Amino acid sequence: MREGRVVRAISGFFDVFDDGQVRRCRARGVFKVKGTTVLVGDFVRYEPVGAQEGIIREVLPRRTELIRPPIANVDHVVVACSFVTPDLSFYMLDKTLLQASVAGVEPTIAFTKADLVSPELASATVELYRRLGYEAVAVAAKQGEGVSVLRARLQGRVTVLAGPSGAGKSTLANALAPGISFKTGEVSEKIGRGRQTTRHVELVRLDDATWMADAPGFSQLQVPVASREVRLHFPEFRPLAQECAYRDCLHLDEDNCAVKRAVEEGHVPAPRYMSYRQLYEEAREQELNAYS
């Protein structure tokens, strides 16, 4: 048997890339009995059939797995957040960063449409998240601003783009990979949101070691997270937590909480802390609903 990477899944068929060639494969029927799924990004063992087809016999262990978009072995996410149209939502950005952390996927924040705001605002926003420990860059894709920096971040990785509709994910993808056609959605003037344009998940090969996902229009990665673990995925909380009065402090209503004190003193941005509280409450509500 041979090994390859699933780069496209559609209508029960799987395109497997191996040694410069793509084969159209089916999965073994026993997969359904065992509940085994085949995802784009999976490494698989397959049996060649003829010159262009094959049968998938085994799915190899995954390093990472996302529920939405349904894709495996991603190690990098570019989080696209536009300054305007739609307006920047720190909460939605923080939610995506949380879920990237839970999934074990390294994020790079791309603040798009930087040409539509003042350089001072763009610089301050980028610096805010850099101080929190994230890679961040201001981007004006059509003008080429920030594109080379982002392109360097893609090298040797499997990257998926996330962010709200209309944030310019497809435009950004086309700027990062010129000559490769990614579908570009338009922003509705009525509601200020983008229209979904991509119909299936597909990995696009940029070079021998670099891939980018062309995925359905979605606003968030989706991975489960326990409410008590949300705090662990806010990197700026970690050193402060050592100074909290309680070892398992949730940084909510406890006394002598170093994180809340840092918020009051301006060392942790208030909007960032509010994102944490809201994300904790959402995770807690999901847990309560699961047992109701």
Q: Is 165 annotated as a binding residue?
A: yes
Q: What's the CA gap between 213 and 107, in Å, rounded?
A: 15
Q: What pLDDT sits at residue 164?
A: 86
Q: Is 233 annotated as a binding residue?
A: no
Q: Is 171 annotated as a binding residue?
A: yes
Q: What's the CA gap between 137 and 114, in Å, rounded?
A: 10
Mean per-residue pLDDT, 59-73: 91
Q: What pLDDT sits at residue 13?
A: 93
Q: What's the CA gap between 153 and 166, in Å, rounded?
A: 23
Q: What pLDDT sits at residue 194?
A: 42
Q: What pLDDT sits at residue 201?
A: 84
Mean per-residue pLDDT, 238-264: 97
For CA atoms 276, 282, 284, 286, the dihedral sign is: negative
Q: What superfamily in CATH does domain 66-214 come from? A: P-loop containing nucleotide triphosphate hydrolases (3.40.50.300)
Which residues does 69 contact at the CB level (< 8 Å), separation at least 6? 160, 201, 213, 215, 216, 218, 221
Q: What pLDDT sits at residue 33?
A: 78
Q: Is 112 annotated as a binding residue?
A: yes
256 burial level (CB within 10 Å; 0-12, 13-18, 19+): exposed
129: confidence class by pLDDT, cuts 50, 70, 90: very high
190 or 222, higher pLDDT: 222
Q: What's the CA gap between 96 and 86, in Å, rounded?
A: 16
Confidence check: pLDDT of 257 > 50: yes
Q: What's the CA gap between 219 and 156, in Å, rounded?
A: 25
178 or 147, higher pLDDT: 147
Q: Is 36 annotated as a binding residue?
A: no
Q: Is 82 annotated as a binding residue?
A: no
Mean per-residue pLDDT, 6-19: 94
Q: Is 69 annotated as a binding residue?
A: no
Q: What's the CA gap between 60 and 43, in Å, rounded?
A: 6
Q: What's the CA gap between 152 and 138, in Å, rounded?
A: 14
Mean per-residue pLDDT, 70-77: 94
Residue recorded with tokens 């509280």: 277
Q: What's the CA gap between 280 and 259, in Å, rounded?
A: 15
Q: What pLDDT sits at residue 112?
A: 97
Q: What pLDDT sits at residue 183?
A: 60
Q: What pLDDT sits at residue 218?
A: 54
* Alpha-helical segments (H) within 35-154: 90-103, 119-131, 147-154
Q: What pLDDT sits at residue 195?
A: 43
Q: Is 244 annotated as a binding residue?
A: yes
224: confidence class by pLDDT, cuts 50, 70, 90: confident
Mean pLDDT of the chain: 90
Q: Is 251 annotated as a binding residue?
A: yes
Mean per-residue pLDDT, 64-74: 90
Q: What's the CA gap between 127 and 33, in Å, rounded?
A: 51
Task: Give the tens place of pLDDT for each residue, 32-54.
Answer: 778 889 999 999 999 999 999 99
First to last CA, the chain: 48
Q: What pLDDT sits at residue 188?
A: 33
Report the share of the chain in percent with pLDDT over 70: 92
Confidence check: pLDDT of 26 > 70: yes
Which residues does 263 contact at the CB level (< 8 Å), separation at least 6? 269, 270, 273
Residue recorded with tokens 């301006």: 266
Q: What pLDDT sits at residue 184?
A: 42
Task: Give the tens place of pLDDT for each residue, 166-220.
Answer: 898 889 999 999 888 776 443 333 323 444 444 578 999 999 899 999 876 555 6
Q: What's the CA gap between 230 and 280, in Å, rounded?
A: 6
Q: Is 183 annotated as a binding residue?
A: no
CATH architecture classification, 2-61: Beta Barrel (2.40)
Q: What kind of fold does domain 227-290 have according to CATH?
A: Ribonucleotide Reductase Protein R1; domain 1 (1.10.40)
- Cis bond leading into 164, ω under 30°? no
Domain boundaries, the chain: 2-61, 66-214, 227-290
Q: What pLDDT sits at residue 191?
A: 29
Mean per-residue pLDDT, 69-79: 93
75 burial level (CB within 10 Å; 0-12, 13-18, 19+): middle
Q: Is 141 annotated as a binding residue?
A: no
Confidence check: pLDDT of 60 > 90: yes
Q: Is 114 annotated as a binding residue?
A: yes
**Distances 142 to 112, 147, 193 between C-alpha atoms, Å:** 10, 9, 19
Tokens of 42: 């999976």
